[in-house]
Chains A and B, each alone.
Chain A
Amino acid sequence: MNDRLVPLLITCGVALLSGAGMVMARRLVRCACLLLVHSLAIAATYWCMTAEFLAMAQVVVYTGAIVVLFLFVVLLLPEGGSEPRTSTGRTLLALAGTAAVLLPLGAIVASTSGPAQAPATTDTSVAAVARTLFGPQLVPFELTALLLLIAIIGAVTLWRRSGAEVRR
């Protein structure tokens, strides 16, 4: 990925700008659309980092499923889910909380020196990812199936229970 500095700069810039716009946009529909741009920019960043499989998974899973699910839910909400204006005190508190987390995190990242000697080549092909996923990471990979099942059952249960409350 060392020969792809300029594309990396562009995609990271787009991801940061759209992420900042998403946090600051007032209307939820604009938030969801900016999240769409952000997720595509992240996918392009993965591509620049030679993680082609992850880039395609990001486009299919994130952009195609999660962000569209967000858009769908926003359109389902009454009044488009309009939220009250954030007060100045709340914004200041949020900035203070962000600084409290980000300063130690930035210090850790700044003190990170990277690998002692960088590996000459990194095999990031789909075959290598599959060998890792079905080899050393087989147990977490299988556990994601259980996680998705729990998520589906949980979502259905939440929806049905809240519907019963409305009918009562």
Chain B
Amino acid sequence: MIAVAMSPTAVVLVTAVSLFGLGIAGLLSRRSPIAMLMSVELMLNAGNLLFVLGGHWHGNAGGIAAATLVLVLGAAEAVVGLALALALFRTRPTADVDTPPPTPAPAPAEPTSEVRAAVSAAVLPDRPAEVNA
């Protein structure tokens, strides 16, 4: 019984399910969009583990190939998600996805605007005057 419970297959299965649960818990409990994206990455890794395990069960490399495609999917998801999160942080000062954006767009605190101006100037070096205005 112990040998059955401690087989590599069981270890990977339990790890994948636990990782998926951790990802769901993080996605539901965190309030920062970036932390939520990291939780989604946990769930993608759990799915990938199952893909590789399924490939072993079928005795071919199809699981590994599918996991490679999921890896690309994770990269695309992270790029779009992080762009969305950065766009969110431009319009609101806090990292809370539950808080509605401030309607009249009040001026942010002084260090925050300085940081934003520095970031924008670094990313858009040809338009520093517009960003500072």
- Residue with the greatest number of chain B CB neighbours at <10 A, chosen from A20, A69, A77: A77
Q: Which residues of A (94-114) have their CB < 8 Å from a CB of B?
A: 94-95, 97-98, 101-102, 105-106, 109, 112, 114
CB distance from A97 to the nearest CB of B (A): 5
Q: How far is the CB of B72 from chain A (nearest CB, A)?
A: 4
- Check B52–A54 contact: CB distance below 8 A: yes
Residue of A53, A57, A76, A120 touching B119 (CB-CB under 8 A): A76
Neighbouring B residues of A65 by C-beta, 8 Å: 75
Total residue contacts A-B, CB cutoff 8 A:
269
Q: Of A19, A78, A119, which one neighbours B59 at CB under 8 angstroms?
A: A119
User: Are B96's CB and A66's CB within 8 A?
Assistant: no
Question: Which of these, A19, A46, A163, contacts B52 with CB under 8 Å?
Answer: A46
Question: How many positions in chain B have a CB within 8 Å of any CB in the partner chain?
Answer: 85
Q: Is the CB of B24 within 8 A of A98?
A: yes
The answer on a CB contact under 8 Å between A83 and B95 is yes
Asked whether, in the complex, the Cβ of B79 is within 8 Å of the Cβ of A79, the reply is no
Q: How far is the CB of B78 from chain A (nearest CB, A)?
A: 5
Contact A132 B65 (CB under 8 A): yes
Shortest beta-carbon distance, A22 to chain B, in Å?
6
Q: Is the CB of B120 within 8 A of A16?
A: no
Within 8 A of A (CB), among B16-40: 17-26, 28-32, 34-35, 37-39
| Contact among A1, A101, A115, A136 for B62, CB-based, below 8 A | A136
On whether A132 and B28 interact (CB within 8 A), knowing A12-B12, A51-B52, A151-B80, the answer reads no
Contact B82 A70 (CB under 8 A): yes
A9 to chain B, nearest CB (A): 6
Residues in chain B near residue A129, CB distance under 8 A: 61, 64-65, 68
Residues of A in contact with B (beta carbons under 8 Å apart): 1-2, 4-5, 8-9, 12, 15-16, 19-20, 22-23, 28, 31-32, 35, 38-39, 42, 45-46, 48-49, 51, 53-54, 57-58, 61-62, 65-66, 69-70, 73-74, 76-79, 81-84, 86, 90-91, 93-95, 97-98, 101-102, 105-106, 109, 112, 114-115, 118-125, 128-129, 131-133, 136-137, 140-141, 144, 147-148, 150-152, 154-156, 158-159, 161-163, 165-167
CB-CB nearest 9 A-B residue pairs: A119-B59, A162-B87, A94-B28, A94-B29, A23-B26, A151-B76, A128-B61, A155-B83, A83-B32
